[in-house]
Structures are given as C-alpha cells and as structure tokens.
C-alpha cells in the first residue's frame, strides 16, 4: 500500500500484536471514563444527602435501605462495657485512637457502631485511655457511613479482647458480632462535632474524585495512539523517487 512517499507493507506478527493490544488499550480508556462518571455521580449524591433534612432512625427497618452519607438522629443508649479503640490514627503528628462504641436504638434488638472521634494514646501504650460513656438514654446526631476501610494486617486484631476496651486495627462487623453477640448493622454513625459524647471529631465524608480516572483514561488512549504509530513506523519504508532527466542532457 502506497501512502505518499511511504510504502506500507504490514507484516503478520506486528499486525496480530496490534490487533490484540489496540482494542484492549482503547477499552481500558473508556472503562476509566465510565468510572469517572460513576464517581462524579456519587459526589453529587453525597452532597445532596448531606444537605437533606436529618432522618430520625426509630427501627432497624430504616437501615435496610441505602443510608450512606445521610444525616441521622437516633435515640437509645451506649454499651459502655464493649468499646473499641481503632489503633494508629494520627492527628497533627500525634498517634491516637478513634473511639467506636456500640449503640442500641430499639431497646437492645439492634445495634450500630458510633464513631465518637479521636483521642490521644499517650506515651505509655500499655495504658489505654479512659473512654467511659454513660449508659443512660441519650439522643445522637451525625452522618451514617460504611465502616472505615480495611487495613492490611496479620491477624484480625492487635490484642485479645479479654479486657475492654478492645484495641483493633479494623472495625470488623463480623468480629464485633462474635465478640458481643449483638445484632449489628453495617453502618457507622459519625457523631457531630458538638455532641457531648464526642472526642475530637475530624471525620469527613470522602468520595474519590473523578480526575484520577480521567487521567488514567488519557494515559490508556495515549498508549493506544503510540502503539498505532509504532505499528505504522515498523511496517513502512520510504520510497525513493527518481527525478526524470531532461532532454538537454
């Protein structure tokens, strides 16, 4: 095939390799664009829910629907005897814990973990901070979310929970069920900063931005273009054209 001054003669192996790789690179680019759209929609949903009126949770049925990022109000009481310290939480260079306490909102039938905020661990890690909370009926308000992301670890916990509070590296709903035999819902209530039961509370709802996926999409599409240019370059050669001699020579 002649293209200007280039003679394009595709060879079998480069053609097969390009035919396999090019659609993969292009499809990966479009997949990343789809992911960017999904994250953008999730950001809009999060903002909409955070601005919506506070929803009062009176029964377990209210938590069966999608309640992520919704502002909620619950009335019930804490279980002071089974609290969890989420280890290795750092604030302004200081190591501490995030305090998680079970809370029942329907007379002990159902429970939800409450993120009460951050507390310093102190210099002696052998001495756990005092996180005692009243077991009297109280009203809480905050934002519902999924439990914090799982960290890579060897084993499920830092130490045995033969003594409470239990120091852990993950808020594992299944493990907490085994520890306490409570019917625990897979949401966490992140207390508002002004709550009397909250320690330092810097929790903020987070959704990954779509810009990262858009950048990945550009990379995949760029690789597809480069592959195509390399394929054309490897299978083309420049054709020399001779200048016809004049009759005077």
Answer left, alpha or beta for residue 153, where phi above 0 means left and psi between -120 and 50 means alpha: beta
Taking only the tens place, the pLDDT of each residue in 97-139 is 999 999 998 877 889 999 999 999 877 878 898 999 988 999 9
Is residue 97 within 8 A of residue 121, CB to CB? The reply is yes
Window from 34-43, 73-82, 174-183, 223-232 with minimum mean pLDDT:
174-183
pLDDT in the model for residue 93: 84
Lowest-pLDDT range of 24-28, 47-51, 214-218: 47-51
pLDDT of residue 157: 47
Q: Measured between alpha carbons, how far is 161 from 178 in angstroms, rounded to an integer?
A: 11
What's the pLDDT tens digit per position in 141-191?
999 998 886 544 444 444 444 578 999 988 888 888 888 888 888 889 999
The C-alpha torsion from 34 through 40 and 42 to 48, rounded to 10°, is: -150
Determine the Cα–Cα distance for residues 34 and 183; give it in Å rounded to an integer. 37
- Count of beta carbons in the 10 Å neighbourhood of residue 223: 17
If you average pLDDT over residues 7-26, what whole number do you get?
88
Q: How many residues does the chain have?
A: 249
Q: Report the pLDDT value the prediction gives residue 245, as an integer from 0 to 100.
A: 54
Looking at residue 153, its pLDDT comes to: 44
pLDDT tens-digit readout, 33-68 = 999 999 888 888 888 888 889 999 887 777 777 888
Structure-model confidence comparison of residues 24 and 90, the more confident one:
24
The conformation of residue 156, written as its DSSP 8-state character, comes to S
Residue 207: both structure tokens together: 């959704």
Asked if 32 and 213 count as a contact pair (C-beta separation under 8 A), the reply is yes
Q: β-strand 94-104 against 71-78: which pairing, if any?
A: antiparallel
Q: What is the structure's pLDDT at 163?
A: 77
pLDDT band at 203 (very low <50, low <70, confident <90, very high): confident
Contact 105, 58 (CB under 8 A): yes
Selection from 103, 62, 63, 64 nearest residue 82 by Cα: 103
Q: Do 93 and 108 contact (CB within 8 A), yes or no?
A: no
């Amino acid at each position: 095939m002649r293209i200007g001054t280039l003679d394009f003669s595709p060879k079998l192996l480069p053609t097969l390799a390009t035919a396999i790789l090019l659609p993969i690179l292009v499809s990966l680019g479009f997949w990343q664009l789809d992911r960017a759209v999904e994250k953008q929609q999730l950001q809009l949903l999060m903002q909409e829910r955070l601005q919506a009126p506070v929803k009062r949770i009176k029964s377990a049925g209210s938590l069966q629907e999608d309640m992520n990022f919704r502002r909620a109000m619950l009335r019930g009481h804490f279980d002071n005897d089974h609290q969890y310290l989420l280890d290795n939480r750092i604030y302004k260079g200081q190591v501490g814990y995030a305090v998680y306490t079970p809370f029942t909102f329907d007379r002990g039938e159902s429970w939800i973990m409450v993120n009460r905020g951050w507390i310093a661990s102190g210099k002696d890690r052998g001495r756990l901070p005092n996180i005692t909370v009243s077991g009297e009926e109280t009203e809480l308000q905050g934002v519902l979310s999924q439990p914090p992301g799982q960290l890579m670890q060897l084993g499920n916990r830092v130490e045995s929970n033969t003594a409470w509070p239990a120091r852990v590296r993950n808020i594992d709903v299944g493990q907490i069920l085994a520890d306490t035999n409570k019917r625990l819902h897979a949401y966490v209530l992140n207390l508002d900063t002004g709550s009397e039961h909250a320690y330092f509370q810097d929790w903020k709802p987070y959704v990954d931005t779509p810009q990262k996926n858009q950048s990945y999409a550009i990379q995949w599409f760029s690789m597809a273009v480069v592959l195509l240019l390399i394929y054309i370059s490897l299978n083309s050669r420049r054709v020399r054209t001779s200048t016809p001699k004049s009759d005077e020579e």
